[in-house]
Amino acid sequence: MRFFSAEQRRIHFNSYTGRFVDRLKNYDYKDPLQIGAAGVHTVSQLFGIDPATRDLGRLLDGDKSPVPHLEGFLPRTREDTIGAVKDLYHHKVFSAFTKVINIVGDVAADGADMLAGVNR
């Protein structure tokens, strides 16, 4: 299990696609459990289509804020649920919609990471 430093946790990305690629780079591909978790992450993100859709929603809403690094317990699921509520509150309908449709896949990816001992 790898733990990231406080400096690495402050990392932000310009897009969800960039964060998706970065997360795939950081799995330990010598560990069979992490290989499985990376596979679940890839499939749950529809091989990159999902983050691209989220980026499109941000573009349509005019959202240029940085995409945060994921960390903690069930980070993707937490980001989707809390983020959708915040987006609706701020009238970012497209961004909220993309977060809601991502919940199922992100729960699967968070669960696989948890079983593999991946801590980001």
Give the residue from 44, 53, 49, 66 showing the smallest Cα distance to 94. 53
| pLDDT tens per residue across span 59-104 | 998 988 899 888 888 999 998 999 999 999 999 998 898 888 888 8
Burial label, 116 (beta-carbon count in 10 A; 0-12, 13-18, 19+): buried
pLDDT of 2 strictly over 50: no
| Confidence tier at 50 by pLDDT (50, 70, 90) | confident
Query: Of 94 and 11, which is predicted with more confidence?
Result: 94
Residue 68, classed as helix, strand or coil, is: strand
DSSP H helical ranges for the chain? 6-9, 16-25, 32-44, 49-61, 75-89, 93-116
Query: Model pTM?
Result: 0.79
pLDDT of 3 strictly over 50: no
Number of CB atoms found within 10 A of residue 30's CB? 7
Domain chopping of the chain, boundaries: 29-116
